[in-house]
């Protein structure tokens, strides 16, 4: 049976957002809609319904809204399969998808983000599908930072909780832009402006974001036939740069030196990209797109004087795609890379004129060479 109110989903809306709007427009809280109208039990609350396909939910939504199940499924994150990842993993972390960290009925993680300016200007507020993706950190319309928690109570965004604890006879306010915990408007009391020192660096990232939303090749410079190859490489590249051993031995310092971006990790360096706070992901993405903007020269610039090399890509969960692999083997293999005799002598002279003792280690560092190879070469030279 059709519900009295059955608003159409927006084209880019997330399933859980649409379901919550249906509930609120019918004067119900989500839990009441699930139970009384859709005939679902409370286990639905411990599911991430945007990832996890619940046949009963889709069937009852089809019957109560008139929208076909195919159209309903398009609101799920599984629609990104084949583009950003081969398969969305249902029961554990899925690459590029922000984890909700559902524990009983509450969400521990900041797994949904939103644009305060989009909310401020639209009467009907809804959550976009791309706001669950970890690489989406800016609003391409308002060129501002997205937010990952309530500006009043700092709790994660959880619109499905609107009205939890109230009886089903209390009429909810029909607004997805209110915090599910403190019910204050999510678009007030916060600034989402990009810090001025980063504005210039956002260009490359915004081009990528725009191409992604338009379904176009996201990093055209790489000339990849499939988006998946771009995203797989992006993941491997980010993972290699964030690896503690390399990150703390020059990579972080070089990023700061060349871009002015200081990536300070508040969660610890072992944490994956998807689990980091939005401010940190924003900085990492700016650095990565600064690199990709002049590929591969800037990766080599970043590696200069550090131990970041081919080994940074070893033992990662997957091997790099071809576009990245060729660069790694051609330019980042420090075990075979060898500076010329003249280069080594120049480095030695340079160090001495700058009152630095030209030890093998220092020379190898300046020559971007493996220490052992450098030692052997210096022996033959002296």
Distance of CA 154 to the CA centre of its chain: 20
Beta bridge partners of 128: 13
Q: Which stretch binds Zn ion (CB under 5 A): 16-24, 91-99, 110-118, 234-242?
A: 110-118
Least separation in angstroms between CB 16 and Zn ion = 18
User: x/- binding map, residues 111-150, to Zn ion, per CB under 5 A?
Assistant: ----x-xx--------------------x-xx-------x
Least separation in angstroms between CB 113 and Zn ion = 11
Q: Is 152 in the site for Zn ion (CB under 5 A)?
A: yes
Least separation in angstroms between CB 139 and Zn ion = 3
User: Which C-beta is closer to Zn ion: that of 118 or that of 374?
Assistant: 118
Alpha-carbon gap, residue 54 to 56, rounded angstroms: 6
- CB 350, CB 369: distance < 8 Å: no
Least separation in angstroms between CB 143 and Zn ion = 8
Q: Is 214 in the site for Zn ion (CB under 5 A)?
A: no
Size of the site for Zn ion (CB under 5 A): 12
Q: Is 181 in the site for Zn ion (CB under 5 A)?
A: yes
Helix (H, G, I), strand (E, B) or coil at 128: strand
Alpha-carbon gap, residue 255 to 303, rounded angstroms: 10
Helix (H, G, I), strand (E, B) or coil at 91: coil
Least separation in angstroms between CB 130 and Zn ion = 11
Least separation in angstroms between CB 152 and Zn ion = 4
User: Which C-beta is closer to Zn ion: that of 101 or that of 151?
Assistant: 151
Alpha-carbon gap, residue 235 to 225, rounded angstroms: 17
Ramachandran sector of residue 81 (left: φ over 0; alpha: ψ -120 to 50; beta: rest): beta
User: Which C-beta is closer to Zn ion: that of 189 or that of 249?
Assistant: 189
Alpha-carbon gap, residue 244 to 175, rounded angstroms: 43
User: Which C-beta is closer to Zn ion: that of 16 or that of 259?
Assistant: 16
Helix (H, G, I), strand (E, B) or coil at 138: strand
User: Which C-beta is closer to Zn ion: that of 67 or that of 285?
Assistant: 285
User: Which C-beta is closer to Zn ion: that of 193 or that of 341?
Assistant: 193
User: x/- binding map, residues 229-268, to Zn ion, per CB under 5 A?
Assistant: ----------------------------------------
Helix (H, G, I), strand (E, B) or coil at 342: helix
User: x/- binding map, residues 292-311, to Zn ion, per CB under 5 A?
Assistant: --------------------
Q: Is 153 in the site for Zn ion (CB under 5 A)?
A: yes
CA-wise closest residue to 308 among 295, 298, 321, 293: 298
Least separation in angstroms between CB 291 and Zn ion = 27
Helices 252-259 and 278-293, interaxial angle, to 10°?
Answer: 70
Helix (H, G, I), strand (E, B) or coil at 260: coil
Least separation in angstroms between CB 12 and Zn ion = 12
Alpha-carbon gap, residue 90 to 102, rounded angstroms: 13
User: Which C-beta is closer to Zn ion: that of 74 or that of 152?
Assistant: 152
Q: Is 179 in the site for Zn ion (CB under 5 A)?
A: yes
Which position has the token pair 């939910």?
Answer: 57
Identify the sign of the CA torsion 181, 182, 185, 191: negative
Alpha-carbon gap, residue 291 to 324, rounded angstroms: 12
User: Which C-beta is closer to Zn ion: that of 50 or that of 140?
Assistant: 140
Least separation in angstroms between CB 157 and Zn ion = 9
Which residues of this protein are in contact with Zn ion, per CB under 5 A?
A: 115, 117-118, 139, 141-142, 150, 152-153, 179, 181-182
């Amino acid at each position: 049976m059709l519900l009295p109110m059955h608003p159409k989903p927006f084209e880019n809306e997330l399933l859980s957002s649409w379901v919550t709007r249906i509930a609120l427009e019918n004067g119900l809280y989500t839990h009441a809609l699930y139970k009384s109208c859709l005939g679902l039990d409370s286990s639905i609350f411990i599911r991430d319904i945007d990832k996890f396909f619940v046949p009963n939910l889709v069937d009852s939504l089809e019957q109560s809204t008139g929208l076909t199940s195919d159209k309903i499924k398009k609101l799920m994150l599984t629609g990104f399969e084949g583009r950003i990842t081969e398969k969305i993993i249902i029961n554990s972390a899925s690459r590029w998808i922000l984890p909700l960290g559902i524990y009983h009925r509450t969400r521990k993680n900041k797994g949904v983000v939103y644009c305060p300016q989009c909310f401020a200007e639209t009467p009907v507020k809804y959550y976009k599908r791309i706001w669950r993706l970890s690489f989406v950190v800016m609003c391409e319309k308002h060129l501002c930072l997205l937010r990952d928690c309530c500006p009043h109570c700092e709790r994660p965004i959880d619109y499905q909780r609107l009205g939890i604890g109230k009886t089903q006879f209390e009429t909810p306010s029909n607004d997805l832009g209110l915090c599910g915990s403190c019910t204050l408007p999510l678009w007030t009391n916060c600034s989402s402006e990009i810090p001025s020192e980063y504005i210039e660096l956002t260009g490359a990232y915004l081009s990528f974001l725009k191409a992604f939303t338009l379904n176009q090749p996201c990093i055209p410079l790489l000339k990849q036939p499939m988006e998946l190859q771009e995203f797989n490489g992006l993941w491997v590249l980010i993972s290699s740069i964030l690896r503690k051993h390399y990150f703390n031995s020059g990579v972080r310092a070089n990023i700061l030196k060349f871009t002015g971006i200081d990536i300070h990790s508040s969660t610890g360096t072992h944490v994956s990209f998807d689990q980091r706070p939005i401010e940190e992901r924003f900085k990492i993405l700016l650095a990565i797109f600064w690199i990709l903007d002049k590929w591969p020269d800037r990766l080599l610039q970043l590696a200069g004087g550090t131990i970041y090399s081919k080994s940074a890509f070893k033992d990662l969960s997957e091997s790099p795609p071809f576009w990245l692999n060729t660069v790694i083997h051609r330019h980042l293999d420090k075990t075979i890379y060898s500076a010329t005799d003249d280069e080594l002598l120049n480095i030695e002279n340079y160090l001495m004129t700058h009152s630095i003792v030209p030890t093998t280690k220092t020379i190898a560092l300046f020559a971007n060479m493996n220490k052992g190879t450098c030692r052997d070469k210096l022996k033959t030279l002296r």
